[in-house]
Structure 1
Amino acid sequence: MTPEELSSAIRAALVEAAAAGDLSAPVPDDVRVERPRNRDHGDWSTNIALQLAKPAGVPPRDLATTLVARLLDVAGISAVDVAGPGFLNITLDTASAGELARSIVDAGPAYGRNDAEAGHTINLEFISANPTGPLHIGHTRWAALGDAMRRLLVASGADVTAEYYINDAGTQMDVFGASVLARAKGEPTPEGGYPGAYVDDLAAAALEQRPDLLDLPEADALVLARRIGYEAQLAEIRATLESFGVHFDVWFSEATLHDGGAVEKSVDRLREQGHVFDEGGAVWLRTTDFGDDKDRVLIRANGEPTYFAADAAYYLSKKDRGFDEKIYLLGADHHGYINRLKAIAAAAGDDPEHNIEVRIGQLVNLGGAKLSKRAGNIVELADVIRWIGSDAIRYSLARYPADSPLSLEGEELRKQTNDNPVFYVQYAHARTANVSRLAAEDGVSAEDGFDPSLLADPTEATLLATLGDFPRVVAHAAQLREPHRVARYLEDLAGRYHKWYDTCRVRPMNAEEEVTDLHRTRLRLNDATRQVLANGLDLLGVSAPERM
């Protein structure tokens, strides 16, 4: 019996109780079941009696007691106890619990997927680094967490568009273009320009594409150097992210907001809402009405739009494109953006508590990392991937909450020991694959027989309960936007699998021992664990190796 099937059985018992007049409260569409911390309290627990007691007008324990008899009539449930103020602790019979192994294998990659976020249409924006240089370690955390969050939301039924906002407008791009052109001319980097050696590569690309670059008038050469350098740098950013397993559905150019008049139109739309005012020759948005610490300038007195005006236009663009929910994943230096972005949402007529979510990722320190020779004063993401590997860095970043500062030791992440969490989990998957291979050589085939009642060892009950908890963990991690919950679950699952492996044999001891249904059924449990480990690692963008 899966947790979903148990939830349905409890709901059916509630419907029966209501029909018999034993329950006067509305029956919820979904009944949540959880695995008790203490295995002595059963396989699953629910607080539904506490949840319904007040609307039903009865003590929780009385309502729980009413449900006990009905639940004991459900096939697969062997015991139901009322605990504490009214919790229902449910124990499944061995065969019903073991049936989960077959269900997981049959479901394959779909196991763990759920509909907790069904009906949500989400724009998920993350990284959005300036296209004026390589991605660095500061961008890495949201690259890993943002993509894992996207995977979790999709697995939980949400319609998600991952978006990268390209900051390709404004003074910084002019300075960037001037830096590329200066290098092409063999001149020093202009004051305030970009000094990295990577700019030499961009200048070489500009000269290769346009050998006549230096023969053009200065203004034309500057525009061309800026465009070619920008395109080359953006292509490198894309390639680095793809090598990190991060894919974006949309690459949105800030320049298109300015070139298409969207910035000016957004000011007009916000003015129509009654939140724009003129003062000192400038155009302002009254963001203090919505909790911001000060009002913000949209258009300067000289007629130039501010970056905040582009933020407003960008938010309205997302709204116009049909995204009911907009999630912004920003860097540690963007705390001040929370209130102003929520103020934009409110000024646009949206609910800032529903239509926009802003999350801040804290800094990451990577011990042992070397500064990039190309960029000079940063640690490039591409170098980190080559040094540590995509799997190790992604998993290590995913296993901690984004709002906590993080210090990692690069050489520790490279070690193939059980002290390294990513190795520990990947090794568990490789072990399950090895067991399957060797079992096949011994003539053990799961298809030849399956008797879930044979999975009676305590380590098997614990392993099955952990496997059954995976869909809830995925749904909860998606709802809270916390991929680290999946990583910690996988470590727990790996530990329980290793204990089971040490206790229960899947293969015969020797060639003389007969292959029985116990071997075959345990092989199915092994393969179910393998599937859940693979599914969980995939949600984090980490590979599940067959051999290590």
Structure 2
Amino acid sequence: MTIREQLEELIGSALAAAVADGSLALEEIPAPALERPRDESNGDWASTVALRCSKVAKRAPRDIAQIIVDHIPANTLVKSVDIAGPGFINVRLSDEVLQTVVASVRDQRLDYGRGSHPEAGRVNLEYVSANPTGPLHVGHGRWAVLGDSIARVMKHAGYDVYEEFYINDQGVQMNVFGNSVAVRYMQLLGHDVELPEQAYGGAYITDIAQSIIDADGNKWEGASEEERMLAFREIAYQQMMDLNRETLSNFGTTFDCWFSERSLYVADESGKSAIDKALEAMDAKGFIYKSDGAVWFKSSAFGDEKDRVLIKENGEYTYFMSDMAYHHNKLGRGFDHLIDLWGADHHGYIKRCEAMLAAWGHPGALEVLLGQLVNLFRNGESVRMSKRTGEMITFSELIEEVGTDAARYTMLSRSSDQPIDFDIEVVKKQDSSNPVYYVQYAHARICSVLRKAASEADAAALEAGELTLDQLAAKVVGSDVDLSVLTHESELALMRRMDDFAELIDLAARDRAPFRLTHYAQDLASLFHQFYTNCHIIGEDERVMRARLALADATRTVLALTFSLMGVSAPEKM
């Protein structure tokens, strides 16, 4: 139970006692609903419960607040309680309860702040889902880190999350892709053929064509255009999928499932495909009709601006038909809540997808998050093209230049509905002006302190890999640490911020807002740097030194845990 939860329970018991002895005339006991005061001088927590129940209790809010305060039982949580303004109850925590945070963190380690949300059911989180017709661009990179970090945070908060990449490998664009490679292949063999207007023209297409020549020579030169296109489509598709899997894996993003759109069109043992089943399921609900030779979904019945075509007059399936089958398939796999992360340009597509879930009897089961793009800069100047290729900067090129940690942290630094201005040179800086360097340096500084406090033998064992940093910290701090000496305001501020972690995780998971982790990491790092400046550690009285080492170690743990939820490393040296 967090300190906030303990405090709410305490104030709740005071309310119950006041109602029981007739001091307050309330039929129902309201929730204390604590919140952080805007001004820290007003205490650690504040409650507006007295104002909220004033009308029902028919008493002035300040009178009610005083009654509540008078009924608070003896406890070790509260240092002082003040009644402010029209009836705010401001609580300042005891040093003793803040000191328990250090022990909790060091006891729970990377399980600190872990929650439980069984009521949420099984969650399918789909993100990136790029067409396999080209390398991932920088926008895909942002969606990768957003989706990955949302999944990490939700899992830590107790959600059952399944991560999925939807491969758009069905449709005209795949044939265009195959034909583009075929044309480049023939050009490389000396044939005078032009790339058609509808084609992929990037240098990577030529690279794929050259790889086919390297493997097969002119084997495909005499094949028909159709045969060549089909063969090259599959070769190019596999190469691009391998490249994109490798790029995402190197970025620390992995998936439970890579779901192929093609599979929706393959009949199972019943003789029916996922497309067939979705169409039948929607028809059974009464929301399918035919008009002008086409098959339509009556999405306007669920708030969409117009009905949507599923099968064109010529018998061709629309993209929306695939999407309908895909989401029906997700429901059939037992998922209760579907989260899709899309690019902001797909905004107009949301309503029809919400309509199809509602038509199946699952209103609200679909949640769509829109990710804005990344604006690249170099020293303040806009960057659009790669110096190496003269074309779009790919995501893998960006990672290669700035590194995974810097890319992840920067792309998480703002809410997903806001664009990111990513200055490559700023992100590469190795000083405190670079946010990722600043927060990682705090972790590395703590590791340095622990090494300095260790014996020469233990420090050597750490260097040799014979001891982990956790094991070293346990030796340095020892057992039965007297945390009561941690009373300096810099120490208390660190402990207060670490106590916020569980609530941070709960809210960041609920709101799908991993950007809050970057703000928290910066706050915690800043508070540690202040503590390090104001409170000597090495060389102090042993009792004080061990307590401060324990506080530093707890801070290291929370920083490392915050980093892990962002997919950022926690360096021990910098």
User: Which TM-score applies when normalising by structure 2?
Assistant: 0.87
Residues 204/328 of structure 1: CA separation in 2 closer, same or farther (3 Å cut)? same
Map residues 109-188 of structure 1 onto 2, 5 A cutoff. Answer: 109-115=110-116, 119-185=120-186, 186=188, 188=194
Aligned to 1:360: 370
Whether 2:233 is the aligned partner of 1:226: answer yes
Residues 448/106 of structure 1: CA separation in 2 closer, same or farther (3 Å cut)? closer
Aligned to 1:285: 297
Aligned-pair CA distance for 1:298:
0.7
8 Å contact from structure 1 (residues 202, 233) kept in 2: no
In structure 2, which of residues 406, 420, 426 is the aligned counterpart of residue 406 of structure 1? 420
Residues 174/408 of structure 1: CA separation in 2 closer, same or farther (3 Å cut)? same
Secondary structure of residue in 1 paired with 2:120: coil
Residues 347/363 of structure 1: CA separation in 2 closer, same or farther (3 Å cut)? same
Aligned to 2:247: 240
Q: Distance in 2 between matches of 1:372 and 1:545?
A: 30
Residues 250-299 of structure 1: per-residue CA shift (max 9 Å, x gap): 11111111233222332222222222221111111122222222221111
Residues 418-456 of structure 1: per-residue CA shift (max 9 Å, x gap): 121111111111111111211224999322552222111
Aligned to 2:567: 541
Q: Distance in 1 between matches of 2:502 and 2:319?
A: 42
Secondary structure of residue in 1 paired with 2:481: coil
Q: Distance in 1 between matches of 2:238 and 2:64?
A: 66
Q: Distance in 2 between matches of 1:57 and 1:124?
A: 49
8 Å contact from structure 2 (residues 14, 73) kept in 1: no
Aligned-pair CA distance for 1:214:
4.4
Aligned-pair CA distance for 1:377:
2.9
Aligned to 2:454: 440
Secondary structure of residue in 2 paired with 1:359: strand
The alignment of Structure 1 onto Structure 2 pairs a total of residues equal to: 540
Q: Give the letter for the 1:493 counterpart.
A: L
8 Å contact from structure 1 (residues 446, 520) kept in 2: yes
Aligned-pair CA distance for 1:8:
4.0
Aligned-pair CA distance for 1:318:
1.4
Deviates more, 1:463-472 or 1:445-454: 445-454
Residues 313/74 of structure 1: CA separation in 2 closer, same or farther (3 Å cut)? same
Aligned to 2:270: none
Q: Which runs of 5+ in 1 are unaligned?
A: 510-514
8 Å contact from structure 1 (residues 198, 374) kept in 2: no
Secondary structure of residue in 1 paired with 2:492: helix
Map residues 399-478 of structure 1 onto 2, 5 A cutoff. Answer: 399-441=413-455, 445-478=476-509
In structure 1, which of residues 183, 194, 197 is the aligned counterpart of residue 200 of structure 2? 194
Q: Distance in 2 between matches of 1:275 and 1:55?
A: 49
Residues 57/168 of structure 1: CA separation in 2 closer, same or farther (3 Å cut)? farther
Residues 236/19 of structure 1: CA separation in 2 closer, same or farther (3 Å cut)? farther
Aligned-pair CA distance for 1:93:
2.1
Aligned-pair CA distance for 1:313:
1.0
Q: Which runs of 5+ in 2 are unaligned?
A: 268-272, 459-474
Whether 2:531 is the aligned partner of 1:532: answer no
Secondary structure of residue in 2 paired with 1:335: helix
User: Which TM-score applies when normalising by structure 1?
Assistant: 0.91
8 Å contact from structure 1 (residues 206, 213) kept in 2: no
Question: What is the RMSD computed on CA atoms of the aligned residues?
Answer: 2.6
Q: Distance in 1 between matches of 2:68 and 2:222?
A: 86
8 Å contact from structure 1 (residues 180, 199) kept in 2: yes
Aligned to 2:400: 386
Q: Give the letter for the 2:542 counterpart.
A: T
Q: Distance in 2 between matches of 1:217 and 1:241?
A: 36
Aligned to 1:518: 544
Q: Distance in 1 between matches of 2:303 and 2:565?
A: 36
Q: Give the letter for the 2:343 counterpart.
A: G
Using CA pairs under 8 Å that are at least 6 residues apart, name the structure with larger relative contact order, 1 or 2.
1
Map residues 12-411 of structure 1 onto 2, 5 A cutoff. Answer: 12-14=13-15, 16=17, 24-26=26-28, 32-49=33-50, 60-115=61-116, 119-185=120-186, 186=188, 188-206=194-212, 212-214=219-221, 216=223, 218-260=225-267, 261-351=273-363, 354-368=364-378, 369=383, 371-372=385-386, 377-411=391-425
Aligned-pair CA distance for 1:53:
6.0
Q: Distance in 2 between matches of 1:53 and 1:250?
A: 54
Residues 23-76 of structure 1: per-residue CA shift (max 9 Å, x gap): 745557x86544333222222334455566667776654554333234351223
Deviates more, 1:116-125 or 1:143-152: 116-125
8 Å contact from structure 2 (residues 110, 557) kept in 1: yes
8 Å contact from structure 2 (residues 137, 395) kept in 1: yes
Q: Distance in 2 between matches of 1:494 and 1:222?
A: 55
Residues 9/213 of structure 1: CA separation in 2 closer, same or farther (3 Å cut)? farther
Q: Distance in 1 between matches of 2:50 and 2:117?
A: 22
Deviates more, 1:386-395 or 1:113-122: 113-122
Secondary structure of residue in 1 paired with 2:306: coil
8 Å contact from structure 1 (residues 53, 59) kept in 2: yes
Q: Distance in 2 between matches of 1:25 and 1:418?
A: 56
Q: Distance in 2 between matches of 1:405 and 1:117?
A: 33
Q: Give the letter for the 2:248 counterpart.
A: L
Deviates more, 1:5-14 or 1:318-327: 5-14
Secondary structure of residue in 2 paired with 1:168: coil
Aligned-pair CA distance for 1:496:
1.3
Aligned to 1:486: 517
Q: Distance in 2 between matches of 1:176 and 1:380?
A: 18
Q: Give the letter for the 2:442 counterpart.
A: A
Residues 448/123 of structure 1: CA separation in 2 closer, same or farther (3 Å cut)? closer
Q: Distance in 1 between matches of 2:421 and 2:350?
A: 25
